[in-house]
C-alpha cells in the first residue's frame, strides 16, 4: 500500500506515522508514505494557496489549482489515477468495514483541507470518496488522514504479525473485545478471574465470548443489534439482563 497525502502541513503527517507497528511495516517496505506539500504547487510570488470566498463570509478557501497540480503530480509519478479520499465532516463516517475495503487498494491519495474548505470545482474533478471520522469538528484533515492510515494499514496483509492479528478483536462480528489481564494474579486486592487461571481452553473461550457480549450490551447497544449472536446467546443475554435488574432492585 502506498499512501500519498496532499496537505499544507507535510511535517505533521511525516512525524506522526513512523513509529510502532506502522513504522515497522514501512521499514519492511509493505507500506510507503509520501506527504505532498500543496504549497509547492502555488506558482505565484507569495506561494499563496487560499483566497476569499465568492459571495462573502468568514474565512478563506483553498484554491483549486494548487490542489489539482499536487494531485496531478502524484498521478504522473505513479502512472495511475488512484482513489482520492477527501477528509471532511460532511463525508460518510469512517468504520472498520471501510478500512478493510480500502486496504485492498494499491495506492490511496488523501486530500487534507484547511480554512473554510476547498474550492468545490477541484473536489468535483478529483475526489472519489468523502470521509469523516466522527461527528465533531477538527481544524484540518491531517489527523483524520492519520487515523484512517493507521486503521487501513493494520488490515494490509503482513503489517500485523500472527500474534497481533486483527481477527479476534473489537468490531469482529460487531462485538467489543473482552477484558485482558496479566501478572500479578492480585493487584490492589483485585483478582484475575478464576477461569483464566484454570488452563481450561474451552471455558476460557466461552467466558471471553460472554464478556464481549456483556460489554457490547452495556457500552454499545447500537452495535449489538448488528452482532451475530446465536439464539442460545440471545437467550443467555436476556437471562443476564434479568439477573442484573433483580440485583439492582434488591
Ligand atoms: Cl475528516 N475533517 C475535519 N476537519 N473535521 C472532522 C473530520 C474531518 N471528521 C470529523 N471531524
* Mutation to probe ligand 1, out of 5, 9, 88 (largest number of atoms < 8 A from CB): 88
Query: What residue spans of the chain are helical by DSSP H?
Result: 10-16, 20-27, 64-78, 96-102, 120-126, 142-153, 201-219, 221-224, 231-249
Residue 37 reports pLDDT greater than 90: yes
Say what the pLDDT of residue 10 is: 97
Mean pLDDT of 167-180: 82
Task: Output the pTM of the full model.
Answer: 0.93
Q: Give alpha helix (H) positions in 79-200.
A: 96-102, 120-126, 142-153
Residue 43, ligand 1, Cβ within 6 A:
no
* CA atoms in the 13 A half-sphere facing the CB of 27: 7
Q: In terms of DSSP bridges, do strands 190-191 and 186-187 run parallel, antiparallel, or are they unpaired?
A: antiparallel
Give per-residue pLDDT as tens, 134-154.
999 999 999 999 999 999 999
pLDDT per position as a tens digit, 96-143: 999 999 999 999 999 999 878 999 999 999 999 999 999 999 999 999
From atom 5 of ligand 1, which residue's Cα is the shortest distance away?
Answer: 138
Q: How many DSSP H helices and E strands does the chain contain?
A: 9, 9
pLDDT value at 161 more than 70 = yes
Q: Greatest CA span in the chain, whole angstroms?
A: 76
Is 165 or 191 the better-scoring residue by pLDDT? Answer: 191
Looking at residue 19, what is its pLDDT? 82
- Whether the per-residue pLDDT at 224 is higher than 80: the answer is yes
Pocket test for ligand 1, best of 144, 147, 148, 149 (most atoms within 8 A of CB): 144
Amino acid at each position: 500500500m502506498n499512501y500519498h497525502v496532499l496537505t499544507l502541513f507535510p511535517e505533521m503527517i511525516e512525524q506522526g506515522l513512523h513509529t510502532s507497528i506502522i513504522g515497522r511495516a514501512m521499514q519492511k517496505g509493505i507500506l510507503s508514505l509520501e506527504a505532498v506539500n500543496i504549497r509547492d504547487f502555488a506558482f505565484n510570488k507569495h506561494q499563496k494557496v487560499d483566497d476569499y470566498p465568492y459571495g462573502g463570509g468568514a474565512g478563506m478557501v483553498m484554491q483549486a489549482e494548487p490542489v489539482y497540480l499536487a494531485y496531478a503530480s502524484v498521478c504522473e509519478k505513479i502512472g495511475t489515477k488512484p482513489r482520492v479520499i477527501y477528509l471532511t465532516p460532511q463525508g460518510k463516517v469512517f468504520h472498520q468495514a471501510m478500512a478493510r475495503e480500502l486496504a485492498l487498494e494499491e495506492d490511496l491519495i488523501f486530500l487534507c483541507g484547511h480554512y473554510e474548505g476547498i474550492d468545490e470545482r477541484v473536489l468535483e474533478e478529483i475526489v472519489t470518496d468523502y470521509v469523516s471520522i466522527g461527528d465533531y469538528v477538527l481544524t484540518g484533515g491531517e489527523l483524520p488522514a492519520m487515523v484512517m492510515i493507521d486503521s487501513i494499514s493494520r488490515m494490509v496483509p503482513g503489517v500485523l504479525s500472527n500474534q497481533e492479528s486483527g481477527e479476534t478483536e473489537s468490531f469482529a462480528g460487531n462485538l467489543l473485545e473482552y477484558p485482558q489481564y496479566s501478572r500479578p494474579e492480585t493487584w490492589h486486592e483485585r483478582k484475575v478471574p478464576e477461569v483464566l487461571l484454570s488452563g481450561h481452553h474451552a471455558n476460557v473461550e466461552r467466558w471471553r465470548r460472554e464478556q464481549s457480549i456483556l460489554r457490547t450490551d452495556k457500552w454499545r447497544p447500537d452495535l449489538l443489534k448488528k452482532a451475530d449472536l446465536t439464539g442460545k446467546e440471545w437467550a443467555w443475554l436476556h437471562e443476564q439482563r434479568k439477573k442484573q435488574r433483580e440485583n439492582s432492585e434488591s
